[in-house]
Amino acid sequence: MSVTTGHVKRAFKYRFHPTDAQAAELSRTFGCVRKVYNLALAARTEAWARQERVNYSQTSAMLTAWKKTGELAYLNDVSSVPLQQALRHLQTAFANFFAKRAKYPRFKSRKKARKSAEYTTSAFRFRAGRLTLAKMAEPLDIVWSRPLPEGATPSTVTVSQDAAGRWFVSLLVEDPAVKPLPATGTAVGIDVGLDHLLTLSTGEKIANPRHERRDRARLALAQRRLARKARGDGANRAKARQRVAKIHARIADRRRDHLHKLTTRLVRENQTLVVEDLTVRNMVRNRGLARAISDAAWAEFRSMLEYKAAWYGREVIAVDRFFPSSRLCSHCGILQERMPLHVRTWTCADCGATHDRDVNAAENLLAAGLAVTVCGAGVRPQRSTPSGQSATKQETPRREP
């Protein structure tokens, strides 16, 4: 998602069904894109070892030279645009590395890397709803599951194939329909969990659909059958791997659809949304909870919430992950010394208020988030404790689902 000239640039993703010739052409393109990316990464890594830097322009010149060699002459058989785009993506990866936003770029694996190719306007033709890519005589057979914005013309087209063998095309267009919504003045605290996916400061609890659990038996059977296939049994092993991938894809599709509906509703109804700044990557190291946390997709939920808030003029505030939201009394501000995970309701010893653990946490997150907007980023509300200590000076608590 990006914004230019007042309009949001938005990607619309569709399934399509290629002919045998188109599938073969795209598979060649995917392989060439991966090869060029890896060659350029190797060249830049060697230069990095010599304490030199190689930029995009230099790798582009290398690509021209590679095409003239007998060993890599096959790179001329596919459109040059996806190959140039691969070099641009590598340049972005290095820019993120140097800015300490990401780790050092890694080589793309033939089996594990995402199969995709990006085409810019010079490498495709889009007329009357028919998309034709470079090096192809026929347009793609796209399943138009929803219309593009009226009069929209793609600036970039990305073709991909997932592990389940499904083909997708993503069209990046300007969407004038996406504009800030009328201000509501409402704010909500959102506590994520496993028993309930979300608990809101309004008291509403949203059930956790547990998408993975619904297909767990079928997935386990498919995985056992895959494990029994010998590694040298190429075709049968590939079929078994694709059956597993199809089940994973079905689970991911259901999860994504649910999160889209949920985040759209929350953004439309609230001006300010307060969440906890969780490090999901570290939390899934807990082997007992890794599967449940991954299925809940907290990171994907937050990502959707943030980009939709940017689209519609809303604000998302992330409260420090060490803020003891579950142990604070939202009525009097007293900090409880201990709060085991099995305790779902508790009564404050100071004021006598009885709390639902998750609702209380959501209310405290909302209060902390509103304090941030008033006092400045990073400020946490100072709460009194029975001993008179500040709540923020207590021992750092563990994450409490």
> Which comes out higher in pLDDT, residue 2 or 355?
355
Averaged pLDDT score across all residues of the chain = 87
Q: How far apart are CA 362 and CA 350, in angstroms?
A: 20
C-beta neighbour count of 92 within 10 angstroms: 13
| Amino acid 229: pLDDT | 87
Q: Give domain status of residue 221, yes or no.
A: no
Same domain, 73 and 197: no
Please give the pLDDT value at position 382: 37
| pLDDT value of residue 374 | 65
- Containing 96, the helix (H) or strand (E) segment is helix 80-98
Question: Would you say residue 295 lies in a domain?
Answer: yes
Residue that is last in its domain, among 152, 175, 198? 175
Output the pLDDT for position 375: 62
Q: Minimum mean pLDDT among 54-58, 113-117, 174-178, 368-372: which range?
A: 368-372
Q: Do residues 90 and 193 both lie within one domain?
A: no
Is residue 273 assigned to a domain? yes
pLDDT in tens, 97-153: 999 999 999 999 988 899 999 999 999 999 988 999 999 999 999 999 999 998 889
Choice between 304 and 340, residue whose per-residue pLDDT is larger:
304
Kindly state whether residues 111 and 70 are assigned to the same domain: yes
Strand partners, 356: 345
> What length is written for the chain?
401
For 278-294, write each residue's pLDDT tens digit: 888 788 887 888 888 89
This prediction's pTM: 0.82
Region 15-41: what's the mean pLDDT? 97
pLDDT in the model for residue 172: 96
Shared domain for 375 and 313, answered yes or no, is: yes
Residue 178 DSSP SS3? coil
- Between CA 21 and CA 366 the distance in angstroms is 56
Indicate whether 394 pLDDT > 60.
no
Structure letter (DSSP) for residue 122: G
pLDDT band at 368 (very low <50, low <70, confident <90, very high): confident
Indicate the range of 32-46, 164-178, 204-218, 325-339 predicted with least confidence: 325-339
**Backbone φ, ψ for residue 384 (5° rounding):** -85, 150
Residue 41: closest CA among 104, 83, 103: 104
At 8, give phi and psi (nearest 5°). -85, 130
The pLDDT of residue 338? 80
Domain membership flag for residue 395: yes
Question: Are residue 184 and residue 84 in the same domain, yes or no?
Answer: no
Same domain membership, residue 184 and residue 94 = no
Model confidence at 197, in pLDDT bands (50, 70, 90)?
very high
- pLDDT score, position 302: 93
How many structural domains comprise the chain?
A: 2
**Which of the four pLDDT bands, split at 50, 70 and 90, describes residue 6?**
low
Say yes or no to pLDDT of 398 above 50.
no
Tokens representing residue 163 in the block: 């592990």
In this prediction, residue 77 carries a pLDDT of 95
- 398 and 366, same structural domain? yes
Any domain includes 250: no
Cα–Cα distance for residue pair 80/35, rounded to 1 Å: 13
Same domain? 202 vs 148: no
Share of the chain above pLDDT 70, in %: 91
Report the candidate in 361, 370, 366 with the shortest Cα–Cα distance to residue 329.
361
Specify the pLDDT at position 136: 95
Whether the predicted pLDDT of 273 surpasses 70: yes
The Cα 81–Cα 32 span in angstroms is 11
- pLDDT > 90: percent of the chain: 60
* pLDDT for 396 beyond 80: no
Residues 6+ apart with CB under 8 A from 230: 237
Examine the domain organization and report whether 132 and 13 are in the same domain.
yes
* Residue where one domain finishes, among candidates 116, 151, 175: 175
Residue 28, both tokens: 């060649």
Domain encompassing residue 383: 180-208+256-401
User: Do 199 and 121 fall within a single domain?
Assistant: no
- Show Cβ contacts of residue 333 under 8 Å, excluding neighbours closer than 6 positions: 383, 384, 391
Domain annotation covers residue 328:
yes
Average pLDDT (20-44) is: 97
State the alpha helices, DSSP H only, in 276-324: 280-283, 290-296, 298-312
Question: What are the tokens at 111?
Answer: 């089996």
Residue 225 lies in a domain: no
The reply to whether 113 and 139 lie within a common domain is yes
Cβ-proximal residues to 108 (8 Å cutoff; 6+ apart), any chain: 34, 37, 38
Determine, yes or no, domain membership for 222: no
Question: Residue 376 has what pLDDT?
Answer: 55
**DSSP 8-state code for residue 378:** T
Q: What is the mean pLDDT of residues 298-303?
A: 92
Enzyme catalytic residues: 191, 276, 358
Residues 167, 99, single domain; the answer is yes
Grade residue 360 by pLDDT with cuts at 50, 70 and 90. Answer: confident
pLDDT of residue 231: 77
